[in-house]
Amino acid sequence: MKKLVAAIAAVALLGSGGAAHAELVDKVAAVVNRDIIALSEVQQRAAPEMARVNDPDPRKRGEQRLQLMKTALDTLIGEKLMESEIAQLGITATEAEVDELVADVRQQNNITDPAQFEQLLLGEGLTMATYRDMMRKRILRDRLLRMKVGPQVKITEEDLKAAYTQYTRMESGDSEVHARHILVQVDAKATAEQVEAAKKRAEAIATEARRPGMDFASLARARSEGPSAADGGDLGWFKRGVMVPAFEKAAFGLPEGGVSEPVRTNFGWHVLKVEERRTVAAASYEEMRSKLEGKLLQEKTEKFLDQYVQELRQKANVDVKL
């Protein structure tokens, strides 16, 4: 896969005599059999991660962005290959199944208002129609994987016991926190100036939250732009490994009653307050068995999925333009 910069430079060298061809090359990232992956598709897929690239070194920033473009293109190529297999096998999904999956996602994120969910999607650069299409493809790919990869994925009792041993080492004497947060949203396509402006708003909120007698829950209801605002920003109790790394680091690094500096995630800038902390004992093997089995199934499925996609790619005609 060539660098994006090189592809754009090559277009410029074609001159006006090859303008139509140059425009075509500039817009095509790859051809998978007879399916075209447009450069705009790659850019859209990479956009959420691109928004978080903020290395002060321009060279490193450029390298990171090129790697994100490459990863996004590889993902899209794999999806195209699987879509071709899905079509050949006649695998389908109904609107009701898509509705159910979208509802599950909303429920898992404690979002009851459909309009609020759509706003969060827009913040990630997605419309509801695009998101539903993604969910439909997810259902179809899951069915394909159950057919092609599922039979290879087996979890033994030895696998589960080894995973439980690792779990107890990590959880022994660990703690969990009850936290609240205030979110200042940042659009996926925000400029560096807009990101910085949002950070300054979050810093002002953090300062306000630290004032003596300030009720963080009331402040969250008034100032947070996240779905938990109505609940005073309440995140409930959570252990390590549940939240994204930056969020987790801030939460577990605070004392009870502590308020964090702004923390950056996909959604924007968060100001956290830890309400309570408590030590938790490791759960029994019987209690953890189902969860560990699910985790191992996911890990092994991803491993065999990579192998399956590579097999499809070797048999296909894939022409990468970037």
CATH number, domain containing residue 239: 3.10.50.40
The pLDDT tens digits for 274-307 are 999 998 878 899 999 999 999 999 899 889 999 9
pLDDT digits (tens, 9 = 90+) for 73-125: 999 999 999 999 999 999 999 999 999 999 999 988 888 888 889 988 888 77
Structure token digits, residue 320: 């990468």
Q: Is residue 19 part of a domain?
A: no
Between vectors from CA 23 to CA 22 and to CA 28, what angle results, nearest 5°?
100
Q: Does residue 256 form part of some domain?
A: yes
Q: Residue 167 — very low, low, confident or very high, per pLDDT cuts 50/70/90?
A: confident
The whole domain housing 180 covers 173-279
- Name the 3-class secondary structure at 149: coil
Residue 20: pLDDT over 50: no
Per-residue tokens: 18: 């090859």
Any domain includes 184: yes
The H helix count followed by the E strand count for the chain is 12, 7
Assigned domain for 229 exists:
yes
For the chain, what percent of residues have pLDDT higher than 70?
91
Distance CA 266, CA 244 (A): 10
Of 12-21, 135-144, 244-253, the one with minimum mean pLDDT is: 12-21
Mean pLDDT for the chain overall: 86
- Number of independent structural domains in the chain: 1
